[in-house]
C-alpha cells in the first residue's frame, strides 16, 4: 500500500470494506461462501453488502423513500455546518464580517480570528474523536439529536452575545456540536445504504 501503510497478509480484505470485482462480472466477492444463502437485491443477482438482518427496524431494510428522506436530511445538515451547499453555514458564516465584528468588540483582528474561528476548528477536532466513541457506545441517534439542539441554541447565543468572551464560548460549543456532522455521517450512510444501492446523486459524487 502507499503512504507507508503496511500490507495485511492475514485478512482477506480490510475490515469495513467490500471487495468488489470488475464491472460487468460478479458484483461481490463472497470469498468461497455459497452466495445462494446470502441476501440479494430485488433482481436476485446482486449480493447486498453489508448483509441486512431480518429485523424491520434495521436501517438496511427501510423503504427507499425513508432512506432518501434520511439522506436528504443529513446532506442538509452537512451543508449547514460545513459550507458544502450554497447556504449560510455555521462554520465559515462569520468570515465576511471578521473586520467589522473585531471593531465592534474592540478586539485586535488576529485575536478575534483565533478565538472565533480557531476555537471552532479545535473544538471540531476534539468532538470528532469524542462523539465517535460516544456514538459507538450509545448509538448515533442521541448524539445527532443532542448536538443538533446544541447547534440551534448556540446560534441564538452567538447572535445575542454582548462580549467577546461570550461569543467565543458560543462558537467553541458550536464546534463541539458540529463534530458529528463532520465525522459520523459517512458511517450513517453506510448503515442505511448497501454498497451497490446508493442513490444516483450520491454514487455520481463518490470518488
Please tell me which residue, 46 or 119, carries the higher pLDDT value: 119
Per the CB < 8 A criterion, the answer to whether 71 and 202 are in contact is yes
Residue 17, pLDDT score:
59
Residue 36, pLDDT score:
63
Chain centroid to CA 11: 27
Q: Where are the beta strands (DSSP E) in 62-191?
A: none
Interacting residues of 162 by C-beta distance below 8 A, sequence separation 6+ = none
Taking the C-alpha atoms of residue 177 and residue 30, their distance in angstroms, rounded to an integer, is: 40
**128 pLDDT above the threshold of 80:** yes
Residue 65: Cβ within 10 Å count = 8
Which pLDDT tens digit goes with each residue over 41-95?
Answer: 666 666 666 677 777 777 888 888 888 888 888 888 887 887 544 455 777 777 7
**33 pLDDT above the threshold of 80:** no
Domain layout of the chain by residue ranges: 1-51, 60-189
Interacting residues of 67 by C-beta distance below 8 A, sequence separation 6+ = 59, 192, 193, 199
- The rounded mean pLDDT for the chain is 77
Residue 203, pLDDT score:
45
Per the CB < 8 A criterion, the answer to whether 61 and 79 are in contact is no
Taking the C-alpha atoms of residue 31 and residue 40, their distance in angstroms, rounded to an integer, is: 16
- The answer to whether the bond into 203 is cis (omega within 30° of 0) is no
Taking the C-alpha atoms of residue 148 and residue 168, their distance in angstroms, rounded to an integer, is: 19
Q: What is the DSSP letter of 105?
A: T
Averaged pLDDT for residues 120-129: 90
Which pLDDT tens digit goes with each residue over 158-172?
Answer: 889 899 999 999 999
At 204, the pLDDT band (50, 70, 90 cuts) reads very low
Element (H, E) at 125: helix 119-138
Residue 164, pLDDT score:
92
What percent of the chain has a predicted confidence (pLDDT) above 90?
19
> How many angstroms separate the most distant Cα atoms in the chain?
70
Amino acid at each position: 500500500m502507499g503512504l507507508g501503510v503496511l500490507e495485511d497478509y492475514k485478512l482477506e480484505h480490510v475490515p469495513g470494506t467490500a471487495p468488489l470485482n470488475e464491472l460487468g462480472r460478479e458484483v461481490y466477492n463472497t470469498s468461497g461462501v455459497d452466495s445462494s444463502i446470502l441476501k440479494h437485491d430485488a433482481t436476485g443477482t446482486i449480493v447486498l453488502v453489508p448483509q441486512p438482518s431480518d429485523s424491520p427496524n434495521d436501517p438496511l431494510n427501510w423503504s427507499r423513500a425513508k432512506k432518501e428522506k434520511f439522506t436528504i436530511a443529513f446532506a442538509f445538515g452537512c451543508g449547514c455546518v460545513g459550507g458544502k451547499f450554497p447556504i449560510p453555514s455555521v462554520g465559515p458564516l462569520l468570515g465576511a464580517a471578521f473586520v467589522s465584528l473585531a471593531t465592534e468588540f474592540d478586539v485586535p483582528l488576529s485575536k478575534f480570528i483565533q478565538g472565533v474561528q480557531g476555537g471552532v476548528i479545535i473544538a471540531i477536532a476534539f468532538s470528532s474523536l469524542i462523539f465517535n466513541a460516544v456514538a459507538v457506545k450509545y448509538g448515533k441517534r442521541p448524539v445527532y439529536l443532542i448536538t443538533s439542539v446544541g447547534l440551534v441554541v448556540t446560534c441564538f447565543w452567538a447572535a445575542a452575545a454582548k462580549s467577546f468572551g461570550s461569543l467565543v464560548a458560543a462558537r467553541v460549543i458550536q464546534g463541539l456540536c458540529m463534530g458529528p456532522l463532520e465525522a459520523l455521517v459517512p458511517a450513517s450512510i453506510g448503515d442505511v445504504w448497501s454498497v451497490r444501492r446508493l442513490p444516483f446523486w450520491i454514487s455520481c459524487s463518490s470518488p
